[in-house]
Amino acid sequence: MTGTSIQKKYKFHPTQDLDVTDKMAPRRNNLNEVVGLEAEPEAVARCCVPSECLRGGALIPLDDLRDTVRVTCNNDSCQAKYMHRECFDSWEQSVLTYLKSCGRARSWSERQRHQNLWTKKGYDLAFKACGCRCGRGHLKKDLDWSPPPPGFGAREDEIAKKKKKRNKNRGLQQHNGGGQIVSPIDPRIRTGSLSSSTESSSPPASASSISPIHSGVTLKRLSKTKIEFFSDRHSAINGNGIFARRQDFSSFNALPKHKLNSYHIKMEDEGHHGNDETRCFILSTLAGMGMCRVVCILCRAPMAVFDRYPLVDGTFFLSPRQHTKTCIEVKVEGRTQYLSCVCMGCLEAWAPGRRLRCRFCSSAWDGSSLVLGTMYSYDIFAAMPCCTERLKCNNCAKPLLLPHQRLNFFSDYSHRVGCPHCGAQDWHFVKPLGYCYNREWP
- End-to-end Cα separation, the chain, in angstroms: 86
pTM given for the model: 0.50
Mean residue pLDDT across the chain: 74
- The arithmetic mean of pLDDT across residues 233-255, rounded, is 74
CA distance 417 to 411: 12
Report CA Rg, the chain: 27
- Measured CA to CA, the distance from residue 244 to residue 294 in angstroms comes to 13
Q: How many angstroms separate the Cα of 73 from the Cα of each of 55, 94, 188, 407?
A: 22, 18, 27, 39
What separation in angstroms does the CA of 79 have from each of 293, 371, 392, 410? 51, 42, 59, 43
User: Mean pLDDT throughout 329-333?
Assistant: 91
Do the beta carbons of residue 391 and residue 429 sit within 8 Å?
Answer: yes
In which band, very low, low, confident or very high, does the pLDDT at 166 lie, cut at 50, 70 and 90?
A: low
The count of other CB atoms within 10 Å of the CB of residue 429 is 23
Does 80 have pLDDT greater than 60?
A: yes
Within 10 Å of residue 122's Cβ, how many Cβ atoms?
24
What is the band of 360 on the pLDDT scale with cuts at 50, 70, 90? very high
| Residue 38 DSSP one-character state | P
Average pLDDT over residues 9-13: 40
List, as one string, the DSSP characters of 64-108: --TTEEEEEESSTT----EEEHHHHHHHHHHHHHHHTTSGGGGGS
Q: Are 111 and 99 in contact (CB under 8 A)?
A: no
Average pLDDT of span 159-177: 52
Q: With contact defined as beta carbons under 8 Å apart, do 307 and 238 qualify?
A: yes
Q: What is the pLDDT of residue 243?
A: 92
